[in-house]
Amino acid sequence: MKYVHLKVMVFMLAFSAGIFVGAHTAWAASAEEIDRDARSTLEKLYVKSPAAKALGEKASGILVFPGIVKGGFILGGQYGEGALLKQGRTAGYYNTVQLSYGLQAGLQKYGYALFFMNESAMNWLDKSDGWELGVGPTIVVVDVGVSGAATTTTLQSQIYAFFFNQKGLMGGIGLQGTKITKLDK
Model confidence pLDDT, tens digit, residues 11-70: 444 444 444 444 444 456 799 999 999 999 999 999 999 989 999 999 999 999 999 998
Mean residue pLDDT across the chain: 77
Q: Domain ranges in the chain?
A: 2-183
Give 152-155 contacts, CB < 8 A, sequence gap 24+.
152/54, 152/55, 152/58, 155/51, 155/55
Q: Full-prediction pTM beyond 0.85?
A: no
Say how far apart CA 126 and CA 143 lie, in whole Å: 27
In this predicted structure, the answer to whether residue 174 has a pLDDT above a threshold of 60 is: no
For the stretch 98-149, pLDDT in tens is 887 777 788 889 999 999 999 988 888 877 566 666 555 556 777 654 444 4
Q: Are 94 and 35 in contact (CB under 8 A)?
A: no
Say how far apart CA 38 and CA 48 lie, in whole Å: 15
CA distances in angstroms from 85 to 5, 20, 93, listed in the order given = 46, 26, 9
Quick one: pLDDT at residue 16?
47
Pairing of strands 139-142, 159-170: parallel
- β-partners of residue 94 are 82, 182
Q: How far out from the chain centre does Cα 134 lie?
A: 12
Quick one: pLDDT at residue 104?
76
pLDDT category at 3 given cuts 50, 70, 90 is very low
Phi/psi region, residue 134 (left: phi>0; alpha: psi -120 to 50; beta: rest), is left
Q: How far out from the chain centre does Cα 155 lie?
A: 21
Helix runs in the chain, H state only: 2-27, 31-48, 50-58, 119-123
Say how far apart CA 175 and CA 173 lie, in whole Å: 7
